[in-house]
Structure formats: C-alpha cells, structure tokens
Structure 1
Amino acid sequence: MTDLTTVPAVTLNNGVRMPQLGFGVYQVPDDETTAAVTAALDAGYRSIDTAAIYGNESGVGRAIAASSVPRDELFITTKVWNADQGYDSTLRAFDDSLAKLGLERLDLSLIHWPTPDRGLYLDTWRALERLHSEGRVRAIGVSNFEPEHLERLVGATTVVPAVNQVELHPALQNRATIAANERHGIVTEAWSPLAQGAVLGEASVIDIAARHDATPAQVVLRWHLQQGRVVIPKSVTPSRIAENLDVFGFELTADELTAIDALERDGRTGPHPADFNVA
C-alpha cells in the first residue's frame, strides 16, 4: 500500500495545498458511495471529489463522519450545478451541499459548467468569492471551462480560479485549456483520467506497463502526475481503488511520456461544454 508520505500535493495559487491524486465518485449511487469512499480513505486517499448533480454528497458525508481520519487531513471538493447558477442561488446551493456533506467548511468549490448562453457564471463566481472571503471554502475554481471562459472570468472578477477540472486523458489532451490554465496560474485537474478505460488497451500503454511491472491504469495515472496535473480516478472495487493510488514507486521516461502523448485523438468520453450552454 502507498505510504501517505509519498503522495504529493500541489500548491494552489492562494497557497492551499491539494493532494495530487484524489478519489472521484461520479456516477456512484448514493447508497454505494459511503462504502466506496470508506475504502478509499482506508487505502490512503485524502482528497474526495463529488458534485451536487451526482446525488451522492450525503454518501460522502456519511463516510467522512464514520472515518477516524481527522478533518484537517481531508480535502473535500464539490461543485455548483448549472440549475443553481446565479448569485443568490449559488449561496443557497452551497449551504445545501455543506449540509449533505455534514461539514462546516469546504476545501474546494467549483462551478461545474460555464453554461455561457445563460450568462450567469460571473454572478456564480462572485458568490463563490464571497464564500471564500468568509472562510467557508478554502479555495474556489471552475470545471469544464475553456480558454474563452477563463479569459472572461479572470478579466471581470477579483479572484483567479485555483483549479480548472476538465476531461483530460491520453486520447483527449486539451492542450489549449492547459496552456490557458498555466498562463493564469490555475492548476489543471483531470476528470476521466483513464478515459473510462478506452486507452488501457493501447499497445504502447501495455508495453510500458510491462516494463515497469505496473498496470496500464497505473501507467496512465503516472503520465498525468509527472506533468503536474491533479487526477481523480474513480472505482467502487476496493482492490482497484488501492491499485490506482499505488503509482509512486516508478517513474516514466521521457520517451515513454512521448509515446503516451502520441495517443492523442478526439477521444472525448464525456459531455462537451457546448452541451451545457442552456440548462
């Protein structure tokens, strides 16, 4: 099992430290979430990523409440859903998420999608800025924001997002968004980091895994980590949960990183931001 001291953290642009490898609960039913998060905490994860729309914040909260892990060792993220965008509705949605999680403070709150045609994400962001200034959330950020959304947000508001969580894996490398994040000092966080398994059968990934006595999933996670990204793999299987965390005992070479880079294609496994222009 991974020694917790070997799990690195990234420093966000406001000085908050965030574990570089966390546990995601997308599409995990609420009644299965508590067991999955408990298994993750037992394996050594300390960062848990959920969202209001996942319908499992209560399940995450039950696992946190039952755990012996001190609260200050945990990093909990949730997201404001599209229907809750706007200043006042964001404040209400934040309170609702906090109640379901059973927490007094969040570590990271994200705008889930920009939904630009609704024209509300600036108001949503100003609500998050208020919550951050009040100390109710340690860091604020965005999810699925493309460069033009980031430019408008940064140009019109006070706090630069700490994180931009986007779909990112070898088949969809989102280079323009990564570059925009880097320009603004925003950490890139990858959701669907394993492309829902779509890249794990690639010959180059299998070959690299054999060389390192690792699994293809571990190789792909290592590819992300060595490029400074935060990753949140998801599983409900305890052995796989532990396996995904055990990625700190080997290092990919420059040639191996390049070989995985070469797998880029239009390999989107989730929805596109344009799908959420209108709620």
Structure 2
Amino acid sequence: MTAVPLLTLNNGVQIPAIGLGVFQTPPAETGAAVEAALQTGYRHIDTAAAYGNEREVGDAIRRSGLDRSEVFVETKVWISDYGYDATLHAFDKSATKLGVDHIDLLILHQALPSRFDLTIEAYRALERLLADGKVRAIGVSNFMRDHLDQLLEKTSVVPAVNQIEVHPYFRQSDVLAADTEYAIRTQAWSPIGGITFYRDSGHTSTLDDPTITKIAATHARTPAQVMLRWGFQQGRSVIPKSTHPQRITENFHIFDFDLTTDELAAIDALDTGLRGGPEPDDITLERFGRDIPEP
C-alpha cells in the first residue's frame, strides 16, 4: 500500500498530503466513501459541521479497524456557531458526532466580515481548545489576505492551515502568497475544479482542458491525477471529493510521478480568475446562517 507523504504544519504537527473530502456527500453515502478511502490508503478525512455527515465519518473510521492515531480527522465550525462560548460548544458537538476525544485539525469554515468580532472570538476559542489539548492544530478556511491580516492583529496563534478553493482555473495567487508569508499551509478544496465551479462559472470542465489532457497523456495519467499532483508539488494539501471507489483510488495514486517545471507553469497559466464558491466578503449570518443540530 502506498504511504502518503506527510506535510509539516507550522506547529510541527504532520498532516497527510492528500485527504478525502465529504462536501455534499449525503450521510447515507458517506460511510462507504470513507471506508473505500481508508482501504485505499488515505489517512486524512475532511468533513465539517455544516456538511451534516460527521457522525457517518466517525462511524466509518471505527469500522475500518484502524487505530484512532492512524487517521487524521479534520472538521470545521460553521458561522452560526461563532463566538467564544458558542465555538467551544461547537467543538463538543463535532467531537460527539465524530465519536472522538480530540480533533486533529479544527478550522473556522468562513470569515464573517460583517461580524468579524465573532470571527475573532471563535478563533480565540480554537486557541483555547489547542492549549487544552482538545485539538492538535487550528486554522481557517476561505480567508482572504485582509481576513488573515485582521485575524493575526488580534490573536496569538498563526493558523496552521487555510483551506481555500484552488484549482487550475482559479489559483488565488494572492492568497497563496499571503499563506506563504505567514507560514500557513494552504489546503485546496475543489482541487480539480468541482461541481460548484462548473455549474456557476459557465466554464468548461478542467478534466477536458487541452493543456491538462496533453500533460496527462505524456505521463500516462488521468487529468485528475495531474491536477492533484500539480497541487501537491506546489506544497499544498489537497482534498479531492468523490463517492466512487474507482475515482477515490485513482485520486490517491499521485505520488509516483513528477511534473516538470514547464508543465507546472502551463497549468498555472490556465487561471481564469473565476471563483466557483461564494465570494468570501459576501458571507453573512442572514444569508448563510444555519442551525447546527446538537448530537
């Protein structure tokens, strides 16, 4: 079985370079997807309170027979649970649903620009959970450069991870640069484009892009493997999502070939500047708030 390379976060914690994402995976399909991933060799599962499938993730990890220490568990706090006490309780809700006594990486799911005071208090709660040993690393998701600047002015722990939309058609070079400046590990959601990008941007699929398909043919690989390798070679943690065992396995096998410098640059040049997910500055409680149920 292929051993997954480990990336070292800014606090010394090591994270597998590839993880299975379960965004938009129905609870009834989550368990089988996670089990297939763990059988393939994945050792990192990325979920979120807002996905509604944390319980199924935890159940599948236990059914795998793997020791808890062998699986890196990541989840996210939704904006409805921001605020110091609310975020501490959000940890309790997620840990109970996952069936774990600690979470390897706990991150804020979005910045909340209209109530950044709540964002700050939520992050301070993560700092408390880190100090208490309930989480091994903390971070953020979908934070732009100005969000990071504001956060770091008022908190003491630099995020270990910033999970953002990164794929060949939307590279977010400015955020990647900010993460590098602050020694934050970038984690790519939708690393091969993703459903929301194709649906909302009006752009064709990255899987059919002539530059990517040509590179894939050169290496006798699939376009998805090339895109995941591109992210990995540029130092990112990549979180592909699938419920199909064959694709889950395909996405995993990216560690036995290398893209050339010219190939990496050619993929970089495909950036369209078109975002697939919601605009981070448009996130408000009024539009995006939702109740995160108790366990």
TM-score range, shorter chain: over 0.9
Matches within 5 A, 1:53-72: 53-72=50-69
Cα deviations by residue, 1:83-111 (Å, 9 ceiling, x for unpaired): 00000110111100000000000000000
Q: Which of 137, 144, 147 in structure 2 is aligned with 1:146?
A: 144
Structure 2 residue runs of 5 or longer lacking an equivalent are: 196-204, 290-295
Q: Which residue of 1 aligns with 2:7?
A: 10
Q: CA deviation at 1:80?
A: 0.4
Q: Which segment is superposed worse, 87-96 or 193-202?
A: 193-202
Q: Distance in 2 between matches of 1:60 and 1:272?
A: 28
TM-score normalised over the length of structure 1:
0.97
Q: Distance in 2 between matches of 1:8 and 1:33?
A: 24
Does structure 2 retain, via aligned residues, the 8 Å contact 1:19–1:47?
A: yes
Q: Which segment is superposed worse, 263-272 or 237-246?
A: 263-272
Matches within 5 A, 1:1-279: 3-4=2-3, 7-119=4-116, 120-196=118-194, 198-278=205-285, 279=289
Q: Distance in 2 between matches of 1:118 and 1:258?
A: 38
Q: CA deviation at 1:69?
A: 1.2
Does structure 1 retain, via aligned residues, the 8 Å contact 2:170–2:274?
A: yes
Structure 1 residue runs of 5 or longer lacking an equivalent are: none
Q: CA deviation at 1:116?
A: 1.3
Q: CA deviation at 1:271?
A: 1.7
Does structure 2 retain, via aligned residues, the 8 Å contact 1:209–1:216?
A: yes
Does structure 2 retain, via aligned residues, the 8 Å contact 1:114–1:277?
A: no
Q: CA deviation at 1:70?
A: 1.2
**Amino acid paired to 1:86:** G
**Amino acid paired to 2:11:** N
User: Matched residue of 1:236: which SS?
Assistant: coil
Does structure 2 retain, via aligned residues, the 8 Å contact 1:46–1:73?
A: yes
Does structure 2 retain, via aligned residues, the 8 Å contact 1:114–1:121?
A: yes
Q: Distance in 2 between matches of 1:266 and 1:14?
A: 32
Q: Distance in 2 between matches of 1:114 and 1:3?
A: 36
TM-align CA RMSD: 1.0
User: Matched residue of 1:139: which SS?
Assistant: strand
Does structure 1 retain, via aligned residues, the 8 Å contact 2:172–2:273?
A: no
TM-score normalised over the length of structure 2:
0.92
Q: Distance in 1 between matches of 2:224 and 2:282?
A: 28
Q: Which residue of 1 aligns with 2:293?
A: none
**Amino acid paired to 1:173:** R
User: Matched residue of 1:166: which SS?
Assistant: strand
Q: Distance in 2 between matches of 1:23 and 1:267?
A: 24
Does structure 1 retain, via aligned residues, the 8 Å contact 2:73–2:104?
A: yes
Q: CA deviation at 1:255?
A: 0.9
User: Matched residue of 2:59: which SS?
Assistant: helix
Q: CA deviation at 1:159?
A: 0.6
User: Matched residue of 1:152: which SS?
Assistant: helix
Identity over aligned pairs, percent: 53
**Amino acid paired to 1:60:** V
Q: Distance in 2 between matches of 1:271 and 1:59?
A: 26
Q: CA deviation at 1:266?
A: 2.3
User: Matched residue of 2:208: which SS?
Assistant: coil
Paired residues, what number?
A: 276
